[in-house]
């Protein structure tokens, strides 16, 4: 299935083709930082939980995703 990227860089077909994995709520709370998770850490944890529960690899430029145990992460531009 071809992916289309708009002027803002959003990938539309991928977002439409994937539904919320049934196990998302099992992984998401465990990935949140405590005592008070807010902002970017919450969205990062959600994306990590989504990828884990859907058995998908997360491709990113953000090395911070390495902190999420069980996440298959590929860092672009990384030599490791």
**Residue 65 pLDDT greater than 90, yes or no:** yes
pLDDT in tens, 4-48: 555 555 554 444 556 778 888 888 888 887 666 677 888 899 999
Please tell me whether the overall predicted TM-score, pTM, comes out greater than 0.75 for this model: no
Bridge partners (DSSP) of residue 72 are 57
Spatial distance between the Cα atoms of 74 and 12, rounded to a whole number of angstroms: 21
Please give the pLDDT value at position 2. Answer: 47
Q: Which secondary-structure segment (H or E) carries 60?
A: strand 57-60
Higher pLDDT, 64 or 5: 64
């Amino acid at each position: 299935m071809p992916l289309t990227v708009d002027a803002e860089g959003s990938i539309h077909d991928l977002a439409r083709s994937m539904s919320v994995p049934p196990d998302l709520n099992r992984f998401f709370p465990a990935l949140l930082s405590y005592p008070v998770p807010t902002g970017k850490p919450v969205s990062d944890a959600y994306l990590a939980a989504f990828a884990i529960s859907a058995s998908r690899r997360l491709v990113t430029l953000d090395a911070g995703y390495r902190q999420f145990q069980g996440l298959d992460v590929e860092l672009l531009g990384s030599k490791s």
